[in-house]
Amino acid sequence: MNPQPTIDAMRTAAQTLRVGDVREQLRALQEVQHAVDAAQAALLVELESSKDYELDGASTLNTWVRNQLRMNSGQANTLVRGAVVARDLPLVGEAAFDGRISAQHVRAFAYGLRHVGLEPMRHHEQLLLGVALEHAPADLFEAVKHLKAVVHPDDLDDAWERGMDKEDFTVDAVPDGWHVTGFLNTITGAKLKTVLDSVSAPRDKDDDRTGPQRRVQGLDDLLDSILANGLPSDKGVRPHLSVFVDADTVAAAAHHVKPTSDDPFTAPDPMPETEPATLAGHGPIGPHLLMYLSCIGDITAFLRQHRDSQQAQILNAGTIKYQPSLLQRRAVLARQQGVCATPGCNHTHLEIHHTIWWSHGGPTDLDLLIGLCVRCHHLHHRGRLHITGNAITGFQFTNHTGRSLRRRRQTTHPQAA
């Protein structure tokens, strides 16, 4: 191996580090890194040819790298594959040795040698090297994968079949939510991606939600629609979320998360020891989440008699406590022009909230109903957003520090005659 290119790169970097600005220094160090990686690969090619690694008791080059260079298996594999690239693709090896392409580019060529084959890679070496010289490693990977699809089209169908064999999808309850894991085959995954892209698209140019917020909210909207209309009922009962909770726990939670004092910033009383509410399929939930779910859901009261066994006898069942009517919902949306009532919030997916909570005997009167986006509704039930007043005199909003939130005045422009 001619060490001069690596030595020259080191000298240039040393000089730049003395007199260059930060940008020049970073570029010089990157070029040295490329040169060192290439030199290391070239030396490994020589070591592979000479078999001198056996002098140190190693049976393979990979073993020697792990033992002598103190690398783990993954690092050793990457280094040895880079050496194979330098040996089998001389133009690529030369470009790497000169520092014109990075170690990440070399890894893309190594992927091609393994999955495309030596002869196709040699045949397209000049073209792929041009991509590497002009583009990022990710773009080179895409070019190599495209070549693989052209040379080995049957591999695509094999991959599809392998995907069907290992597909799985689980949704597991964890203390702070749900953990979604799985693997989907090509067709099912494409369907899910299409649906998520559709429901999570920005509503308009003023939609300032983050990508994760839009995806989760879009999925939540879709699930609401499916639960309400898209699943068959079982003898009149549609699938829905169920929360099971004792009346004492509801009362204690309501008192704990919403102090009866006129001052919303008064510290709440300690939560008494009661049986926690249970979200079916998940497990126990806290008082704030219980109050949020009771705000957006229907409530049915059951009179139960506990027995020694875990099951309880149902003695009587009350009527369902309904949410605001459809007409009331539409009236609230029209009053707010479909926008969240919280000052400064422009979200348009709204939930109807009772400003005097159901749990405190609040009536379902139109003047005491307000439309909040999901985020603001959660903030309110977590005690970080406080709302007082009514639709007649106006609602007042304060944050968790007591600072008043006011909506900015809209500038009016004279209309042209």
3-state secondary structure 148-190: HHHHCHHHHHHHHHHHHHHCEEEEEEECCEEEEEEECCHHHHH
Residue 366 near residue 391 (C-beta atoms within 8 A): yes
DSSP 272: P
- The pLDDT assigned to 261 comes to 44
More confident residue, 416 or 53: 53
pLDDT of residue 308: 52
pLDDT bracket for residue 300 (50, 70, 90): confident
| Contact assessment for residue 390 and residue 367, using Cβ atoms and an 8 Å cutoff | yes
Is the entire prediction scored with pTM above 0.75?
A: no
Domain extents for the chain? Answer: 4-151, 168-230, 243-321, 326-405
- Predicted pLDDT of residue 409: 47
Burial (CB count within 10 angstroms: exposed 0-12, middle 13-18, buried 19+), residue 356: middle
pLDDT of residue 410: 43
Highest mean predicted confidence (pLDDT) among 100-114, 198-212, 241-255: 100-114
What residue spans of 246-325 are helical by DSSP H?
247-257, 287-296
Q: Any residues with CB less than 8 A from the CB of 244 and at least 6 apart, and which?
A: 277, 278, 280
In angstroms, the CA 127 to CA 118 distance is 15
Q: What is the pLDDT of residues 113-169, one digit of tens each?
A: 988 999 999 999 999 999 999 999 999 999 998 898 888 887 777 776 677 677 888
371 or 383, which is more confident: 371
Q: Return d(Cα 103, Cα 42) in angstroms, integer.
A: 13
Whole-number pLDDT of residue 16: 86
Token output for 146: 């495209």
**Strands 299-306, 283-285: pairing kind:** unpaired
- pLDDT at site 416: 38
Q: What is the DSSP string of 105-132?
A: HHHHHHHHHHHT-HHHHHHTHHHHHHHH
What are 45-86's pLDDT values in tens digits?
Answer: 778 778 888 888 888 888 888 888 887 766 666 767 777 887
Per-residue model confidence (pLDDT) at position 320: 56
Confidence (pLDDT) at 143: 93
What's the pLDDT tens digit per position in 330-369?
Answer: 888 888 888 889 998 888 778 888 888 766 667 778 888 8
Q: pLDDT tens digits, residue range 269-289?
A: 677 778 888 887 777 888 888
Length of the chain: 417
